Amino acid sequence: MNKNINFDLLANELDDLKRQTLKDVGAIDAAYIRNVIVWQRGLEWGGRALLMLGFIHPLWWVVGVLSLASAKILDNMEIGHNVLHGQYDWMNDPHINSRQFDWDIACDGKSWQRIHNYEHHTYTNVIGKDRDFGYGLLRLSNDFSWRLKNLWQFITYIYLSVLFQWGISYHELAAERVFMGKKKQGRASKVNASELKRRFFSKGGKQLFKDYLVFPLLAGPLFLWVISGNLIANLLRNLWTSTIIFCGHFTSDVHTFSQAECENETQGQWYYRQALGSSNILGGKLFHILTGHLSFQIEHHLFPDLPSSRYQQVAPQVQAIFARHGIAYHTGPFLRQYSQVVKRILRYSLP
């Protein structure tokens, strides 16, 4: 931790920014998320219909795939991720809240909330506490000893990205403990293994049943057009979400922290760790929406329960606060951020 920073003042300034922003949260934010859901539903059903017109002209099928993939990206990123964070619980909407919402991916929402919302967002980049750092598959810092399997970890990364929804489902379940009995010393799970297994197979099975049996069968003789369209739409969603999430967490600027560094951590020091543990991506309005505003990963980590559409609004103020305290604000164009991710994966694939 940088001892030259006035962490109490940093905490006061960021707390005040959050308070002032929350005062404005209301009808505009509710209308925004409802509008996104309307667009998502339109893209999904329009896409599913167009998949069946591929026999007339393949271009209709291509447009259908892109439309369905866009719907799945919106469902996963701007709607699912943020609703499950509880960003819209204040609306008291029976469908748009973190207790009821379920998303269109293989990962069980409750398992994701338990690991992601608490573990990752509380212990961001604390080695031994935050399992999201490298997802247990990739060596991304010198905090981990080099192993032979790291030599081909870029290929592992490609596999993870292609199967990202399944990778997240397996990871959020802490499946190496549930399925293989690799219990972590001193750690007690609040949900028993049989219940976690039931959730894993139940949610994954529903996704397979829906995308690869029900909708293709409903299409009758157009079965192959629909099943192949669903497969590619899921693949595009997986690649997009994986890429955006890696750009927010594993650029070359992102720091890691030891558990000793975080003992008796104050709110200001927690904010400081969030700042150095994440990075942003520059882009336009549509790009930010399709990333679920995780292109503002710094602001998301500072204020995870703030409606995501507010991140762009508070970003200049966060950047100004960081500048006053001499804290780096890691951001850059997509290609630069992604090239840093690739370099980091390759760099730590070697001893």
Blockwise average pLDDT, block size 10, the chain, 351 residues: 86 98 96 98 97 92 98 98 97 94 92 88 92 88 95 97 93 68 63 82 94 95 96 98 97 94 94 96 97 98 96 98 96 98 97 93
Sign of CA dihedral 207, 213, 214, 219: positive
Residues composing the chain: 351
pLDDT at 131: 85
Residue 110: per-residue pLDDT: 87
How far, in Å, CA of 45 to CA of 42, rounded? 5
**Considering the entire predicted model, what is its pTM?**
0.93
For 80-134, write each residue's pLDDT tens digit: 999 999 999 999 999 999 999 999 999 998 888 888 988 899 999 999 889 888 8
Q: What is the pLDDT of residues 291-327, one digit of tens each?
A: 999 999 999 999 999 999 999 999 999 999 999 999 9
Tens of pLDDT, residue by residue over 99-110, are 999 999 999 988
Q: What angle do CA 73, 226, 158 make, to 5 degrees?
A: 45
List b or e across 257-271, with b for residues whose CB sees 16 or more CB atoms inside 10 angstroms.
beeeebeebeebbbb
